[in-house]
Amino acid sequence: MDTSSIKRVVVIGTGLMGPGIAQSFAASGRQVSMYGRTQESVDRGLTSLEANLRAMQKAEMLDEEDVVRIRAAVSGSTDLESLAAEADLVVESIIEELPLKRSLFSLLDRVCLSHALICTNTSGLPVTEVAAEMARPERAATTHYWNPPHLMPLVEIVKGERTSLETVELLRALLLEIGKRPVVVWKDVPGQLGNRIFHAIKREAMYIVQEGIATAEEVDLAIKMGLGLRFPAYGPLEHTDLNGLDASLRIESYLFKSLCNDDEPLPILKQKVANGERGLKDGKGFYDWSKRDAAEVRRIRDEFLMARVKELYPPKKRLQ
């Protein structure tokens, strides 16, 4: 089996991630169906897809012909079993609850074609547990797309304990073909790869605020104007090699003693949640969102990502 045999893709979930995942496969010329529990949710997903396409057209990443072609390749449905019965690849992106995902995978295992690959877009649940009730778990893997999935190149492929090497390599080839930059996580560990790094950064960032070392605004600015600009050019391990491992050893011998190493969520996070300061949904978290425009923050993020992706991966090359 090779990537040419994967012609029909089903994306389960029409919320935050589903439309972008569907768009990525449709751009490669494949027929994609998005499943939603209600027609209303399907319609919302298709509307989000249209908005993503038009934003990319405005940024000159797509032309009108691309938009029309990709949109025509995506349909929506509330009939999951009929969709799954014809799919070569299923990607689910539902709520992060293990029992729900496990039940869904068990259903897909019974309904899907024998060659179909079944993937979860979980950001942390072990695919080994998600696929625990499957008769053919060798076909199951995690493909963790980063948000927003139609723009972010990274996809983490996590090999479960019973995922076959053939499945891993086929998914890697497929994701490269649709313009993604996949990495393989060979051990099915909590947080996979990127989120382990991200939450380590978040822990130290929150600790710095908690201890009064710097404000939330100063922490975020330091990331945006420092590490965030440098990391696309080279990663921390490349940086370590270039600077010298002996230099890192000297610095870390004294620095690590002062870094946060708590193995539970920090008191500042627990207290904010207890106080009803859960972020945007409550209007307050580390920032006062009554004084900030969340849509504007996301717009700036997406425009930055589109500019970077367009620079790194020219549109016509990406859509081939």
Render pLDDT for 168-192 as a digit per residue (tens, 0 to 9): 999 999 999 999 999 999 999 999 9
> Residue 252 and residue 258: Cα distance in Å, rounded?
10
Q: Please, which pLDDT band fits residue 53 given cuts at 50, 70 and 90? A: very high
Active-site residue list:
123, 144, 156, 195
> Over the stretch 95-136, which tens digit does the pLDDT of each residue have?
999 999 999 999 999 999 999 999 999 988 999 999 999 999
Domains in the chain: ranges and CATH: 3-192 (3.40.50.720), 194-289 (1.10.1040.10)
**Predicted local distance difference test score (pLDDT) of residue 199:** 96
Range in 57-71, 95-109, 298-312 with the lowest mean pLDDT: 298-312
Mean per-residue pLDDT of the chain: 94
Query: Residue 31's closest CA among 104, 102, 87, 112?
Result: 87
**Predicted local distance difference test score (pLDDT) of residue 233:** 86
Please check whether residue 12 is in contact with residue 94, taking contact to mean a CB–CB distance below 8 angstroms: yes
> Over the stretch 275-288, which tens digit does the pLDDT of each residue have?
999 999 999 999 99
Q: Is the pLDDT of residue 299 over 60?
A: yes
**Predicted local distance difference test score (pLDDT) of residue 1:** 80
> Residue 26 and residue 220: Cα distance in Å, rounded?
35
Does this model's pTM top 0.85? My answer is yes
